[in-house]
Homo-oligomer: A and B are copies of this chain.
Amino acid sequence: LDAGRRDDIVEHLEAAHAAEVADLLESLPPDQRSGLWDVIPAEQEGEILSHLRDEARASIIEEMDDVELVAAARSMAPEDLAEVIEELPDERHTALLQTLDGDHRQRLQAVLTFGQNTAGRLMSTDVLSVRPDVSVAVVLRWLRRHQVLPPHTDTLMVIDEQGHYLATLGVDRLLTSDPQAIVGQLMRQDTVVVRADMSEHEVAALFERRDLISLPVLDQEDHLLGRITIDDVVDIIREESDKVLLNRAGLDEDEDLFAPVMPSARRRGLWLGINLMTVFLAAAVIGRFEAVLDQIVALAVLLPIVASMGGIAGSQTLTLMIRGLALDQIANANVRWLIGKEIAVGALNGIAWAVVVAFVAYLWFGSTGISVTIASAMILNLLIAALAGVLIPLGLKRVGIDPALSGAVILTTVTDIVGFLSFLGLATVILL
C-alpha cells in the first residue's frame, strides 16, 4: 500500500462491489486496514460499512472522526444504519442522531423501534404497491414512469386504501398477462407473510424452505410495512453458521481474525478461564484417588483414554443435536426415540472399542485387572456421553441458553469427570 500505487488502488476500488471491498478490509492486519480505508472514496464508505462484520466495522469506525461518520451515515439505508448506530458508544450515537436530517432520522427511529434480530429490523421500506382494481396496462405505465425498481423486485404488493396488505402480484404475471386484465384477478393471495416481530431465524427458515426471493412484512393489523429480500436472508444464514462454528470455541461470531493482540487475548482469555475451572474440577476428581494412583502407576498412563473417548463420542451426539435443533427437527415426539438410539450407538461403540483398549492395555501392562477396569469404565463413559449429548442441548435450550455456545464445555466436563471417576473408582474396587 505504498503511496505510488494509491491511484491504482482507488481505480480498483471503484470497479469493485462494496461487499468485495469489505471482504478485503477484513483480510488485512490493523495498519493496512486503516491505510486502505483512508484511500476509499467518501461516497463508498457508507455502503462498505454496512457490509462489514460488527467487530471489523467497530475497528474502522473508531478511527473515523464525526464528520466522516456523518457523511457515511447519510448514504446508508435506515436498516443498515440502525445496525451501525447501535454499536456506537453513547455519545457518538447521540451526536450522529442529531446531525441526521429530519426525514432520515425519522426513518431510522422507526427501524429502531423493532427488537434486534427481528424481521422489522431486516426489512427495507422501499416497496412498490398497487391497488387491486387497476389494470395491468395502468401498472405498466406507472412502472415506466418509475424508471428504477427497488433491488430484487420479483413481486409488487397489492394493498387497499388503508394500506392493508391484500396479496402479491408477481412481476412474471405482469409480463405474461393481457394488458386489460385487472390486478385483483392476477394476484396471489396464498403467499406467506412475515410479521414485523418474527425472529430472523424464522424468516430465514421460511425463505429457505419455500425458495423465495422476497416477502412482505406486516404489522399486527395487516398494514404493509416493508419487504425482506433474499440477500438479507443469505447474510443471516451465513451469520448463523459462523455463530455455531465460532461459539463452540468460545468465540463471538463477529470475532475479527485480524484484530489487534490485546483485545483478542482478553476475549479468548475468558473462555480459557472457564475451561481452567472445569479442568480443575476434573483434577480434583483424580485427586480423590491418589491412593490407588500411588500404588499402580499404569493407571496414570491410561488416565486420558477413557475421558477422551467419552468426549469424542459425546461431541458427535451433541453436534447432531445442535444441528437438529437449528433445523427445528427435534420435538417431544421424537426425543425418546433419539435417546434410545444414541444410547444404543454408544453401547455398540463402547463395547467394540473397550475390547480393543482392553487388549492393548493387557499387552502393555500384562494385567487382566487393569484391562477389565479400563474396558468397563469406557463402556460406562460412552453410555453417559450419549445421554449427556442428547440431554445437555435440550436442557440448555429449555432455559434459553444457546447449546452451540456452552454445550461442548459442559459435555466435556461431564465426560472428563465420569471418565476419571469410573476408571479410578473401578480401579479402587477391582485392583486394591
Contact = CB atoms under 8 A, between A and B. Distances in A.
B27 A269 contact: no
A210 B303 CA distance: 53
A276 B357 contact: yes
Given A19-B210, A257-B323, A264 B345 contact: yes
A250 B316 contact: yes
Interface stretch (A63-71, A82-90, A140-148, A157-165): A140-148
B154 A319 contact: no
Given A140-B175, A273-B353, A286-B304, 7 more contacts: A20-B210, A234-B234, A240-B241, A246-B319, A250-B316, A258-B334, A269-B348
Interface stretch (A98-106, A118-126, A325-333): A325-333
9 contacts: A237-B237, A245-B322, A269-B348, A272-B312, A275-B312, A276-B356, A286-B301, A287-B301, A290-B300
Contacts of A280: 305, 360
Interface stretch (A195-203, A219-227, A336-344): A336-344
A280 to B, nearest CB: 7
A208 interface: yes
Contact of A308 (B23, B211, B233, B275): B275
Interface in A301-319: 301-305, 307-309, 312-313, 315-316, 318-319
A301 B280 CA distance: 9
Given A241-B237, A249-B319, A294-B297, A151 B268 contact: no
How many copies are assembled? 2
Contacts of A305: 276, 279-280, 283
A138 interface: no
A293 interface: yes
A149 to B, nearest CB: 4
Contacts of A153: 172
Contacts of A302: 283
Interface of A: 17, 19-20, 23, 26-29, 140, 143-144, 146-149, 151-154, 171-172, 174-178, 207-211, 213, 230-231, 233-234, 237-238, 240-242, 244-246, 248-251, 255, 257-258, 260-262, 264-265, 268-269, 271-273, 275-276, 279-280, 282-283, 286-287, 290, 293-294, 297-305, 307-309, 312-313, 315-316, 318-324, 327-331, 334, 337-338, 341, 344-345, 348-349, 352-353, 356-357, 360, 364, 416
Task: Identify the 4 closest CB pairs spanning chains A and B, nearest first.
Answer: A241-B241, A300-B300, A211-B231, A27-B329
A209 B20 contact: yes
Contact of A176 (B149, B154, B237): B149
A16 to B, nearest CB: 9
B331 A261 contact: no
